Chain A
Amino acid sequence: MLDNIYKELYNIKYKEIKMKDKELKDLERKLLLRYFEDGVVDIYIGYVVAIFGLSILFDMAYLVGAFVAVGIFIPKILKSRYTYPRRGYIKIREAQRSGFAAVLLGVFMAGTFIFLLFGMGTSNPMVAFLRANMVYVIAVIWGGALSVVAAWRGIKRFYGYAAALAFAIIASQWIGSMGLNLLGSGVLIMASGLIMLWMFTRKYPILREGID
């Protein structure tokens, strides 16, 4: 009887602690969400997608790595130029940064898995199935990666990007080509990010430390 009461009390306390942790997590999410309203991440995602599209279109896959590596500086430059003077600078916590790395690693591993799968030869029914549905596999990887970020960060517009990108990839079977559709999607996502950045600069004036 007493054991049950203790268990019940423990459960109540445990739930309360969990709830308060959740409140803090929600707060953290809101804080970071405000920091993503500048559209800089959107511009970078659009850039990466467009570069993939261009590399397929002009058959220059060897340049993807170089372009994506150069593009890593885009968010840093834009944040320093437009975001930090208006909303201030923050460094997100290590756990959050590790989360981003995990998403990137996930996409990389999915790509490697497909690559290895193709090396197994067509006699394998799994490989044959994936080869026959390659477009859908690519759509799931791109759309899935963006959806994971959307769910994890609570950035709802990323669901839209994920759906648009998956649609553009699948539609390449009937309209346009994979390269052209990726390029188009990337340019659209970049444009959306640029509009957000423009609105952001209009909404928030530049602040100088110590000057009201």
Chain B
Amino acid sequence: MAARESGTAGKGTHGIDRLIHAPARLVIMKTLYLLDEGDMVFLKTETGLTWGNLSAQVSKLQEGGYLEVVKDFVENKPHTIIRLTEAGRAAFEAYRRMMTDFLE
């Protein structure tokens, strides 16, 4: 867990961060990178994932220390706000650089 939170356990071949590399998680990371925060409804409309899949991918990124998740209730309905942590933002930037270099 500690290694995962530091972002080292997710490193795969050529140092590519596997935690971000999965398409669904990459879309989530990219979308949140452009914002301060967003909720689950927004991520659902942007990613097109099912609720179950979206929830699972968000949990994985949260476990990796890349996302901060705040659960709340609005008018007795669940409302989840998600934002990138500093580590998540740095990891996404590193991933971008890594992929750019790798593909060249």
Contact = CB atoms under 8 A, between A and B. Distances in A.
User: Is the interface on chain A under 10, 10 to 19, 20 to 34, or 35 or more residues?
Assistant: 20 to 34
Interface in A67-104: 84-94
Contacts, number: 67
Contacts of A86: 41
B100 A90 contact: no
Interface stretch (A24-32, A45-53, A175-183): A24-32
Interface in B10-32: 30-31
A89 B36 contact: no
Given A20-B100, A89-B81, A209 B36 contact: no
Contacts of B36: 91-94
A66 interface: no
A84 to B, nearest CB: 7
Nearest to A211: B51
Contacts of A204: 45
Given A20-B100, A91-B35, A93-B35, A212 B50 contact: yes
A20 B104 CA distance: 14
A209 B43 CA distance: 11
A88 B100 contact: no
B87 interface: no
A27 B35 contact: no
A6 B44 CA distance: 46
Interface string A175-212: 00000000000000000000000000000100111111
Interface in B86-101: 96, 100
A210 B31 contact: no
Output the residue of B34, B44, B45 with the most chain A CB within 10 A: B34
23 contacts: A16-B100, A28-B34, A31-B35, A31-B46, A84-B41, A85-B41, A86-B41, A87-B42, A87-B45, A88-B43, A88-B45, A88-B46, A89-B38, A89-B42, A90-B37, A90-B42, A93-B35, A94-B36, A207-B41, A209-B51, A209-B79, A210-B40, A212-B50
Q: State the 7 A-B residue pairs at the shortest beta-carbon distance, nearest first.
A: A88-B42, A88-B41, A91-B36, A89-B39, A90-B38, A28-B34, A91-B37
